[in-house]
Amino acid sequence: MLQILRAKLHGIHVTGCVLDYHGSITLDPEQCALAGIYPLEFVNIWNKNSGQRISTYVIYGEAGSRCCILNGAAARTCQQGDELIISAVEYVNGPKDIYARKPVVLTFDAGNAVLERLRYVVGGEESGEFTFNVVEEPM
């Protein structure tokens, strides 16, 4: 089994940190739907400001809120305004399965509005050599 990227929120900003909570990250369900990230799904979080890396599960906040709130122990790893990369992964049987996958990547502005919806596309199946392209999709 090979773990690969399935969806990514790139450059989303922390809108809050709530220490006294059961734990998780609260995200806008509209943005999650656009990327294909589900409630209770575990995600990897990388803080571009501090270098902290954590894993936690997603809960949905208010639709349209553009929220990105770290809860519980995760709240200790970030500060409001920090820029994050959040990734969801999947497992495939082997390298040949990568060709069929086209992970969704959303990029964000400072107010957490989605700037772009991208796909990572791996090609080269015919030659057996991997190629990589970033393709912009209409939103």
Angle at 107 between CA 105 and CA 112, to 5 degrees: 130
| pLDDT at 20 (0 to 100) | 94
Give 126's pLDDT tier (boundaries 50, 70, 90).
Answer: confident
Q: Where are the domains of the chain?
A: 2-137
Q: Phi, psi (5° rounding) for residue 80?
A: -55, 135
The pLDDT tens digits of the residues spanning 20-61 come to 988 899 999 999 999 999 999 999 999 999 999 999 999 999
* pLDDT of amino acid 139: 79
User: Distance between CA 13 and CA 81 in Å, rounded?
Assistant: 5
Give the span between the Cα atoms of 123 and 131, in whole angstroms.
Answer: 5
How confident is the model at residue 117, as a pLDDT?
Answer: 98
Question: Which 3 state secondary structure label does DSSP give 73?
Answer: helix
Tell me what the pLDDT averaged over the chain comes to.
96
Q: Are 121 and 135 in contact (CB under 8 A)?
A: yes
Q: Does 88 carry a binding-site annotation?
A: no
**61 among annotated binding-site residues:** no
CATH number, span 2-137? 2.40.40.20
11 is in an annotated binding site: no
Alpha-carbon distance 114 to 26, whole Å? 17
> Per the annotation, does 131 bind a ligand?
no
Q: Tell me the catalytic residues.
A: 24, 57
pTM beyond 0.85? yes
Strands of the 114-123 sheet, one edge to the other: 16-18, 68-71, 24-27, 53-60, 42-47, 83-92, 2-13, 104-108, 114-123, 131-137
